[in-house]
Structures are given as structure tokens and as C-alpha cells.
Amino acid sequence: MRVKLLLALCLFVCQVSFSQTEQLLKGVVSSENFLLYNVDVINKTSQKSSVTNEKGEFVIAVKANDSLLFYLKDFNLKRLKVSQEQIKLNNLQIVMFKKAEELEEVLITKIEGAKIEGAKFNKKVFDAWEKGKREEIKVKKADDLANNRTVYDGTIDNGMDFFAIGKKILGLFVKNKEPEKETSPEIDFTILAIQTCDLKFFTDNLKLKPEEIRLFLQFCDLDPKSKKIMEHNNVLSMMDFLSAKNTEFQELKK
């Protein structure tokens, strides 16, 4: 019984030690049915590396669960975690894919004074075209004028402009208008009366209260005689008129 246990223990220890020992793993790297040369095969776990030959073959020391990296310029990086089964098969097949082509940035700049062949300006051709275009317009105008001769438009070919001549003759007999006389602006009777007579005349002589003066002058302005007083303005005539109107104004207040 003891012998069997010791034998089983030895087998287990051997198996564990065997699985932890590095072994050489062979493989081939390809891409789209082409074998890849000079691919870097790196064991990231043990920091060991190898390179593929012209046939895409490589050999590298690995153990189970090691991480392998496959690198080649212009190709996507390939990662692989090694399994115990892959170590037993010892024929690793790696397929790598090329990177998608990146469009390079294109810078478009304006070149001053650049000439484009085949697009040169021909002045002679342009002048000939312009001359022909003018002749075409001239002929068209002549045709339009000939087609419309049946309708009288009030003009005489190569004739005199009688309307303009008559206007000039009429201007000889019309005298220049005399400049209008400037009229002095009319002055309101109320303002004229206040400017002519002193304030004391209204309060002392006519016995009017200050708040009654403007109302009294408006009452006087309603009389047509106020217009004559304004035409022939003098102090005496203004005072006589205001005194007479004051009598009427006082009677209205009663």
C-alpha cells in the first residue's frame, strides 16, 4: 500500500515539474497565404524572443500560460496565451493581418501667379468677337427702327425741335418774377399790449388783479378795433382802448 502511494506521489511531482519546465515550441507565421519573414516573436512572460526565417518558421522556449507577442511593421500586433495542448502539438499556426491603409493628410496651397497651360487669354480672338457682337447689336437696332416706322412717335428725322424753340421764344416775353416782399410776422394783441403798457397800468389804473390781466386782454382781442390799434400802434391809443374795454369788462364781472 505504501509503495502505491509513493509511486503516485512521484508521478504527480514529475508531472508538475514537467509542466513548469520550459519547452521549445515551433510554429509558422503567415498572412493571406503568404509566409512572413523577420517577425519578432516575444515571450512577454520570460522576456525571451525569436525571429521568423524566410519560411515564416520560429522556435521559442515557452511553458503553459506564457504570453507571446508577434510583431511586424505594417501589421497588427498579435497576442497569444500558450496552452498546454499547444505545447504538446508543437505546431503553432499564427495568422497576422495587415493594418488598414491610412490616408495621408494633403495640404492644398494657393500658388500665386500660377499659369495653366491651354487656358491662355487670346486678345485678338476676343477683340474680333467683341467687334462682331457690336455689329450685331447695331443691325438689330436698325431693324427694330425700320419695323416701327408706321407708328408716329412725335419726332421728325433730321428735323428741328419746334417745342424747344417755342419754349425759348416764350421765355423772352415772360418777365422775371419779382421777389416776394418779406412780411413781418404778426404779433398777438395780448403780447403787444403787455409790451406797450406797464404792468402798473393794469393793476393801478385799470384795477385788475394779476390773474385777470390775460383774460382781460383776450376779451379786448375779440373786438375788431384791436386790429386797428395793432396797425397804428402807439401808447396813447392803446391806453384809451384798454380803458374803454375795461369798463365793459368790469360790467361783465358783476
Name residue 35's beta-bridge partners. Answer: 30
pTM of the model: 0.37
Q: Which three cell numbers stand for residue 253?
A: 364781472
Q: Determine the 3-state secondary structure of 50 from DSSP.
A: strand
- What is the spatial distance between Cα 100 and Cα 75, in angstroms, rounded to a whole number? 9
Report yes or no on 73 lying in a domain.
yes
**For residue 145, how many other CB atoms are within 10 A of its CB?**
9
CATH number at residue 89: 2.60.40.10
Average pLDDT over residues 98-126: 54
Which residue type does 63 have? Answer: K
What sections of the chain are H helices per DSSP? 2-19, 84-89, 123-147, 162-173, 189-196, 199-200, 213-221, 225-231, 235-253
pLDDT in tens, 165-185: 666 666 665 555 555 555 545
| Residue 222 lies inside a defined structural domain of this protein | yes
Give the domain-ending residue among 95, 123, 150.
95
Torsion sign across C-alpha atoms 224, 227, 228, 229 = positive
Residue 198 phi/psi, 5-degree rounding, is -75, 155
The answer to whether position 131 is within a domain reads no
Give the residue numbers spanning the domain of 243. 189-253
Residue 254 CA to residue 245 CA, distance in Å, equals 15
What is the predicted pLDDT for the residue at 3?
Answer: 58
Question: What pLDDT was estimated at residue 102?
Answer: 52
142 within a domain of the structure (yes/no): no
| Number of structural domains the chain divides into | 2
Query: For the chain, what is the mean pLDDT?
Result: 77
- In order of 73, 113, 128, 129, 131, the CA distances from 120 in angstroms are 49, 13, 16, 16, 20
Q: Which residues pair with 179 in a beta bridge?
A: none
Q: What confidence tier does 189 reach under pLDDT thresholds 50, 70, 90? A: confident
Q: Which of 95, 111, 129 is the last residue of a domain?
A: 95
Domain boundary among 41, 76, 95: 95
User: From CA 221, how far away is CA 215, in angstroms rounded?
Assistant: 10
Cβ atoms within 10 Å of 67's Cβ, excluding its own: 14
3-state secondary structure of 163: helix
pLDDT value at 11 more than 70: no
Residue 87 in any domain: the answer is yes
